[in-house]
Chains A and B, each alone.
Chain A
């Protein structure tokens, strides 16, 4: 008799599968990143003030990542619902905690790649030069923020997966909930890039907030995801 895998093995299996599907379909690469890049460029044209762009860049980067989260989270569950796979996972007794952690991890990897591209785009387009020590803060805050966004996005995308009108419902659910992440990440990146008139050291408390939100979102998701996909 076979033995079902544990939570960690299930999460690894789900994350690997989602990333393999993304690698094949290239939805993030060919659709989401271009969408985010176009948004950055259009914003630069609209503002047309290098000084203002520099100050606004951190917020714009994370606003773009947040909008991209909506696309990626929808996509993560579209592959499950296209041929009834989510129901099949439930019937197969696949641990919902493992499903949640795996899907959130795959989403976090995609968002982190996206955030890296967006930050690089901001540095080039808006002529920014991060101070010494800013890079570590930048990377740490990006990791914490993307984990928080991915966990929250996975919870609500799972909740909306079986609902008609989920494309419009998901932004309504997610955007208010992730606003603390948006604020925290923006402040941390401002400090990292030196655009908000703050020192690099001022960014670390915001990283702490992001880490707390990421852990809390992961715990809430692990506890509630089974009910979310069942109902």
Chain B
């Protein structure tokens, strides 16, 4: 990282250049403020890493950006869509991979990726490219995912996300369950996605890995942004 910044929101970028704009965003879970006033501006085409201890609000930020949550106070604009108003137009432009993989055990890897690709009208070419990018071999592609390891399932889920060619990728601890080679491969894929114009936001506990790969690091503590680092 080349430069540290304080937590003040970056006003340098206009809304059309911003994929995500959170302003004083508060999300309350029961009586607990999962986000206690987050200000965050993410430029399009950047690779963003959310870091922080458990309960810091990383998953909540990603779910807010996916339109799965709405802010109780403040504003959240994602791809120029106001999440508080109606996140529906946003959704097929956003790919979210949470702690679950969203796979069907009795479908093969290829059938799972094809299904998720078809939800946005993506074709066989996108499916083949995504399978190749995640190095899901010919041997694995016709195996039911119930017989795959945790890491292989994660790769299939990521292939489904890649095949959909979303504008914003939201990945909650995507390295979980992957071996070192697969993590490196995933990092290359995320970098390639960002270089191709997609905005990629991920959370991770692997601080060194995140520091090495992202354009924009965001540290969260107790539901607030404590530090931002941009390349």
Contact = CB atoms under 8 A, between A and B. Distances in A.
A13 interface: yes
Interface stretch (B25-33, B52-60, B114-122, B135-143): B114-122
B144 interface: yes
Interface string B52-81: 000000000000001110000000000000
A2 B166 CA distance: 9
A84 B116 CA distance: 13
Contacts of B155: none
Interface stretch (B7-15, B41-49, B97-105, B181-189): B97-105
B62 to A, nearest CB: 10
A89 B68 CA distance: 11
Given A2-B121, A91-B94, A79 B104 contact: yes
Interface in A203-231: none
Contacts of A5: 118-119, 121
B104 A83 contact: yes
Contacts of A2: 120-123, 126, 164-165
A4 B103 contact: no
A87 B98 contact: yes
Given A17-B115, A87-B68, A92 B120 contact: yes
A4 B122 CA distance: 8
Chain A, interface size category, equals 20 to 34
Interface string A59-86: 0000000000000000000010011110
Contact of B106 (A3, A4, A24, A84): A24
A87 B172 CA distance: 14
Interface in A81-137: 82-85, 87-94
Contacts of B67: 91
A93 B88 CA distance: 7
Nearest to A16: B115
Chain A contact surface mostly: helix
Contact of A92 (B105, B107, B111, B164): B164
Chain B, interface size category, equals 20 to 34
Interface in A2-44: 2-5, 10, 13, 17, 20-21, 24-25
Interface of B: 66-68, 88, 90-92, 94-96, 98-107, 111, 115-116, 118-123, 126, 144, 164-165
Nearest to A18: B104
B96 A88 contact: yes
Interface of A: 1-5, 10, 13, 17, 20-21, 24-25, 79, 82-85, 87-94
A3 B92 CA distance: 9
Contacts of B94: 91
Contacts of B126: 2
Instruction: Give the most central of A17, A25, A79, A93: most B CB within 10 Å.
Output: A93
B107 A83 contact: no
A223 B98 CA distance: 28
A90 B98 CA distance: 13
A30 B231 CA distance: 58
B68 A91 contact: yes
B144 to A, nearest CB: 7
A74 to B, nearest CB: 16
Of all A-B residue pairs in the complex, the 8 with the closest CB atoms, nearest first, are A84-B100, A93-B91, A88-B102, A93-B92, A2-B121, A24-B106, A91-B96, A85-B102
A21 B104 contact: yes
B48 to A, nearest CB: 18
Given A13-B115, A21-B106, A93-B92, A84 B101 contact: yes
